[in-house]
């Protein structure tokens, strides 16, 4: 699924074996993820400060957030919600990976320590991992692809948004 994501993001660009290798090693979440019909979205509750909702059931950010939610011992599960019912809700925001019309001010730029290097990325959502502490779903470029990853607070440094 993740492999599909990197191709989907820019299907015209050449294959990137490093990014595909990365995707292939992201374990899928064990919670079931339904598909969203037209007019519906997939919401994974419990995110801080806001929960993300998605259009695509195989969105890399959704898969990473689902893994993080499981790691945090949350029992929410992905819910199907009508898009028009989400407009009035203040506790969630459209995913910037799979929904074009979103409020970019709701996401923070950050520097991500990937272990090998620091990359500029965007933090989408926090959850509290009882073992690792505050952990976030972040997206950043790996070569010419965007990947979604789980990083702890210690591996992230918030950047001033320019």
Binding site for Zn ion (CB under 5 A): 54, 59, 61-62, 95, 97-98
Nearest residue (CB) to Zn ion, 92 versus 97: 97
Assigned token pair, 140: 């950043």
Cβ closer to Zn ion: 51 or 135? Answer: 51
Nearer to Zn ion, 54 or 127 (CB): 54
Q: Considering the complex, what minimum distance in angstroms separates the CB of residue 119 from Zn ion? A: 20
Q: What's 101's DSSP letter?
A: S
Whose tokens are 């998605």? That residue is: 54
Q: Minimal distance in Å, beta carbon 151 to Zn ion?
A: 17
CA 35 – CA 55 distance, rounded (Å): 8
Q: How far is the CB of 20 from Zn ion (least distance, A)?
A: 19
Q: Is 152 exposed, middle or buried (0-12, 13-18, 19+ CB in 10 A)?
A: middle
Give me the count of residues in the chain.
162
């Amino acid at each position: 699924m993740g492999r599909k994501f990197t191709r989907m993001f820019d299907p015209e660009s050449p294959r990137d074996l490093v990014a595909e290798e990365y995707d292939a090693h992201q374990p899928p979440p064990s919670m079931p993820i339904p598909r969203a019909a037209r007019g519906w979205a997939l919401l994974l509750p419990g995110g801080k400060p806001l929960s993300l909702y998605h259009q695509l059931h195989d969105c890399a950010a959704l898969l990473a957030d689902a893994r993080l939610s499981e790691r945090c011992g949350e029992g929410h599960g992905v819910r199907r919600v009508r898009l028009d019912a989400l407009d009035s809700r203040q506790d969630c925001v459209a995913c910037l990976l799979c929904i074009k019309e979103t409020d970019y001010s709701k996401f923070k730029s950050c520097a991500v320590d990937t272990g090998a290097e620091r990359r500029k990325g965007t933090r989408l959502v926090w959850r509290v991992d009882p073992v690792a502490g505050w952990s976030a779903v972040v997206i950043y470029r790996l070569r010419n692809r965007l990947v979604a990853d789980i990083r702890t607070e210690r591996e992230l440094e918030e950047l001033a948004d320019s």
